[in-house]
Structure 1
Amino acid sequence: MIRRFILSAGPMAAALALAPSASAQEEDHSSLTIGIGGAYIPSYEGSDDYRAIPIAQARGKVHDFAFWTRGPALYVDAIPNRDSDGVDFELGPLVNLRFDRTSRKGMKDDAVRALGKRDMAVEVGGFVGIGKTGVITSAYDNLSARVAIAKDVAGAHKGYVITPAIEYVTPLSITTFVGMSVSAEYVSKKYGRYYYDVDGADATASGLPLYDRAGDKAGFKKVGVNLTAGKSLSGDIRKGWAVFVLGGYSRMLGRYGDSPVVSVAGSKNQWIGALGVGYTF
């Protein structure tokens, strides 16, 4: 149950990450938002079967040092956000647990299940980014860009993942906000080989055709967009209870989308949805 509680690909995480926080109040140098809810996600990355799972996420800051979760990933910004002009430079470590195809129960497709389970990957790395408050619609909207890179240190796929992302959020009132994020994933040869190639033994066991192109070279695996909105239940989106909703779409790209794991047993089109409640202290 604990593992399933953090299996989300990031729906609630994106909603919380885009939510306006108490950082808008200059006197508050520490804050915490926690959220719980449910998500509807593909049973594995590239699947056309879906499942509902519980999710839990958090974000906050301690003396202006920010931290946040995205699914089973934790980011910690080592640069405090104290710029009076609304510019926020980001730099810090991250760690991500990748549970994709680590449980036969989570793989609904018989052919993919026959390929066997994958080990959990522990991806460790860092990120760099920049954000600006007061950009387009008001003095309180925020536009940010970030690039993260992490390498598996647990001996699962043994490769690396690079994730560029752009995020925009704007409050519609003191009680409501909307946001959008666009991101992509660029993965190494080892990553592609581990999750998307089908060798002779795999083909015999699963009935899927042989495939060895995913591990040829590094490349962009997918690109996606998330739309999110939040509504305060306590009269101020920066404090107290709020509800969040998120919808997202991503597209599997190139030789990863052409893998039989996706093109035969699954789909290049990936959808996610989430609904939850959060509390900001």
Structure 2
Amino acid sequence: MIRRSVLFTGSAVAALAFAPSAFAQEENHSTLTIGVGGAYIPSYEGSDDYRVMPIVQARGKVHDFAFWTRGPALYVDAIPNRDGDGLDIELGPMVNVRFDRASRKGMKDDAVRALGKRDVAVEVGGFVGIGKTGVFTSAYDNLSARVAVAKDVAGAHKGYVVSPAIEYMTPLSATTFVGLNLSADYASKRYGRYYFNVDAAGAAASGLPVYDRAGDKAGFRKIGATLVGGKSLSGDLRKGWALFALAGYSRMLGRYADSPVVSVAGSKNQWIGALGVGYTF
């Protein structure tokens, strides 16, 4: 069975994730791909200001147990991938470190900066998914669906985040592939209150209006789509050097989009772009 390779947008702050296990053959029970590059992302979730940041990501497997990073998140698939019919069942732990608004340097908007920093959140949980290789265009394309659930254990927002996603990847040749990722984020009431509400003190400091509806109830925070492409520099996507490019769009939803942090100081429309290079061992 042929394994997939994709470059993803990741967490709610649009942290880039680079997941390039480039078409590693099933008989290769251990592989590793390291990717580095640069990403153009919003300065915080809901911002209309952008910044460029470096990225370092990895994906691989050890004796058929797969692992990958997505931005500052790590996923480990506890079910070995040994199914010869192209079916891949995923189940395992994940941990994500959320840096959204944790540094004043990362917040370009003066009003949002005046609201103060947020603590770094450490979200721990798990994921479940299913993938199938050989679906539409060839014996090597891949369609998968995954849901991750994680709760903050560091005492920052103290809530939970649910992240469903559907991904499709297809090779165009032995040296080129393209992929599409559709995703959404569902956040708890505590998450909404922590990042999107503006209390009286915050309004006085920032000039933004008071807003307390983001934590009324849990709900979908955003939806998004990401298009990725890759080109081998070694003549074979399964090994050696490759170039990757990504473009993504997401839209803030509901009470989160109505928050002054987004509607006044930022934008509902969120964009991301990235270029990177990876090496598969």
TM-score range, shorter chain: over 0.9
Q: How many residues align?
A: 271
User: In structure 2, what is the Cα distance between the partners aligned to 1:145 and 1:272?
Assistant: 22
Cα deviation code 1:154-206 (max 9, x no counterpart): 00000000000000000000000000000000000000000000010000000
Matches of 1:265 and 1:7, distance apart in 2: 17
TM-score by length of 2: 0.94
Partners in 1 of 2:272 and 2:141 — Cα distance?
A: 25
For structure 1, list consecutive stretches of 5 or more residues without a partner in the other structure. Answer: 1-5
- In the alignment, the residues of structure 2 paired with residue 256 and residue 54 of structure 1 have an alpha-carbon distance, to the nearest angstrom, of 28
Contact 1:20 1:177 (C-alpha < 8 Å) held by counterparts: no
Matched residue SS, 2:203: helix
Q: Identify the residue that residue 173 of structure 1 maps to in structure 2.
A: 173
Q: CA deviation at 1:27?
A: 1.9
Counterparts of 2:129 and 2:98, CA distance in 1: 23
Partner amino acid for 2:30? S
2:247 aligned with 1:247: yes
Q: Deviations over 1:198-244 (max 9, x none)?
A: 01000000000010000000000000000000000000011000000
Q: Determine the C-alpha separation between the residues in 1 that align with 2:13 and 2:174.
A: 29
Local SS of the residue matching 1:33: strand
Give the partner amino acid of 2:215. Answer: G
Question: How big is the shift at 1:20?
Answer: 3.2
Structure 2 residue identity aligned to 1:213: R
1:125 & 1:12 partners in 2: Cα distance?
A: 18
TM-aligned CA deviation for residue 246 of structure 1: 0.1
Alpha-carbon contact 1:133-1:142 (below 8 Å) kept: yes
2 CA distance for matches of 1:261 and 1:115? 9
Partner of 1:123: 123
Q: Is the 8 A contact 1:89 1:130 kept in 2?
A: yes
Which structure 1 residue ranges, 4+ long, deviate > 2 Å from structure 2?
Answer: 6-13
Distance 2:197 2:12 in 1: 23
3-state SS of paired residue (1:242) = strand
* 8 Å CA contact 1:7, 1:72 repeated in 2: no
Q: Name the SS for the 1:223 alignment partner.
A: strand
User: Secondary structure of the residue that 1:119 maps to in structure 2?
Assistant: coil
Q: Within 1, Cα distance between the matches of 2:279 and 2:40?
A: 22
- 2:15/2:41 contact within 8 Å kept: no
Give the whole-Å Cα distance in 1 for the aligned partners of 2:50 and 2:156: 24
Q: Taking structure 1 as the reference length, what is the TM-score of the superposition?
A: 0.94
- Where does 1:205-244 land on structure 2 (aligned, <5 Å)? 205-244=205-244
Conserved 8 A contact 2:208-2:260: yes
**2: CA distance between counterparts of 1:210 and 1:52?**
31
> Using the alignment, how far apart are the partners of 2:252 and 2:224 within structure 1?
9
Provide the identity percentage: 80
Structure 2: how far apart are the matches of 1:10 and 1:110? 22
Report the Cα distance in structure 1 between the residues aligned to 2:86 and 2:200, rounded to whole angstroms. Answer: 56
Counterpart CA distance in 2 for 1:187 and 1:214 is: 10
Please give the residue correspondences for 1:1-281 in structure 2 after superposition, counting only pairs within 5 Å.
9-13=14-18, 16=19, 20-22=22-24, 25-281=25-281
- Give, in whole Å, the separation in 2 of the partners of 1:268 and 1:201: 24
1:8–1:110 Cα change, 3 Å: closer
Contact 2:22/2:280, CA 8 A, preserved across alignment: no
SS of the aligned residue for 2:277 comes to strand
Amino acid at match of 2:177: F
Write 1 or 2 for the structure with the bigger share of helix: 1
